[in-house]
Amino acid sequence: MNQAFRAGKTATKDESVIKKILDETGAMIYSIPMGQTPPETGAIIYKRIIEITDIPDPYHNIKQQNIRQALELYPELKVKIESSDDPLLTAIRLAVAGNVIDLGIDKEFDIVKDVEKILIQDFAVFDYDKFRSRLAASKNILYIGDNSGEGVFDKLLIEQLKLPVIYAVRDTPIINDITLNEAEQIGLDKIAELISSGSKAPGTILDKCSDEFLEVFNNADMIISKGQGNYESLSDVSRDIFFMLKAKCRVVARHLNVKVDDIIFKYNTGKI
C-alpha cells in the first residue's frame, strides 16, 4: 500500500487518481497469495498503476535526478577508490552505498551523507575472502543491477573487477529500477555487456526471466546480485551468488539474521 501510494504521488498530483490507485491496490490484496514475494506483488501492482495513470514510467524524473547526483559524485569516488589501500574493497563498499538510493523503499536520503556513513560502517555479513578467491578463479561475471542511480556505483565496482562482465537490467520500467536506457546513459555499455533479465518485476524471478538471461545465469563463473528485490527473488535458488545489499525492511533483515539498516556482503553457496 505504501509503495502504491508513493508511486501514485510520483505519477500524478490528482488526488482522485491516487485514491483510485489505493482503492484498486487494496482490492487486489485478496488475490495475492501469502507466499508471494514482494517483487512479484510489486510487478502486479505497478502494472495496474501504469494502466490507471497512463504514465509508462512514473519514476522517470526521479531516476534522472538520482543518476545526475550519482554521476556528479563519480569522479571523486573514482579517486577515493584508486587512492585507497584496497581499491576492490572500497569499490564494493561504494557499490553497497549505491543501494541506499532506493525510493521504492526509502522516502528520503542524502546521497553524500549516506555514502560517507556506509564507507565506515561494519558489514553484518562479510564474505570478502570468498569473493576474492572466487574472483581469482573466474573468467567472467554476471552482475545483476537494481536501482537506476545505483548503476553509477556499480560502474565503479565493475571497473575494479578486471574481468568481462555481463550487466543485467530489468526489461521494463518498474519503480526506480535500472533498465537498458538508464544503463546506457550511465555508460555501463562501455565497460560491460548489457542484457535484459526479461524481468518486469523489481527483482529477478527466474520463472519469468528470458531464456537468454537464464543461459547466462546458469553458466556464468560468478554472480553478483545487488539489492533487496534481487535477494528476495534469488536467495532460495540453487545457484551460488554473492549478494550485496542493505537490509531495508524487517522481513529481509530477519531472513538474513541481521538488523534493519545493516549492510550485507553475503555468499550463498546455493546448496539446498
Count of chain residues binding a second copy (CB under 8 A): 14
Residues with Cβ within 8 Å of 175's Cβ and at least 6 positions away in sequence, in order, are 3, 7, 42, 46, 59, 103, 104, 202
Distance of alpha carbon 154 from alpha carbon 134, whole angstroms: 19
Q: At what angle do helices 150-161 and 60-82 cross, to 10 degrees?
A: 30
Q: What part of residues 230-269 is at the interface with a second copy (CB under 8 A)?
A: none
Do the beta carbons of residue 265 and residue 125 sit within 8 Å?
A: yes
**Residue of the chain from 23, 86, 110, 261 that contacts a second copy (CB under 8 A):** 23
Figure out which of the listed residues 11, 14, 26, 161 binds a second copy, where binding follows CB under 8 A: 26
Q: Which stretch binds a second copy (CB under 8 A): 24-32, 51-59, 98-106, 165-173?
A: 24-32
Q: Which of 72, 70, 84, 102 is nearest to 6 (CA)?
A: 102
Residue 53 CB, shortest distance to a second copy, in Å, is: 17
Task: Check residue 15 for interaction with a second copy (CB under 8 A).
Answer: yes
Counting contacts by CB under 8 A, is residue 29 touching a second copy?
yes
2 or 238: whose CB is closer to a second copy? 2
| Stretch touching a second copy by CB under 8 A, among 16-24, 38-46, 201-209, 228-236 | 16-24
In the numeric block, which cell numbers belong to residue 71?
554521476
Per-residue CA distances from 153 to 5, 95, 156, 169 (Å)? 28, 5, 5, 15
Q: Is 44 in the site for a second copy (CB under 8 A)?
A: no
State yes or no: residue 28 binds a second copy (CB under 8 A). yes
Our finding on whether 108 is near a second copy (CB under 8 A) is: no
Residues near a second copy (CB under 8 A) are: 1, 15-16, 19, 22-30, 34
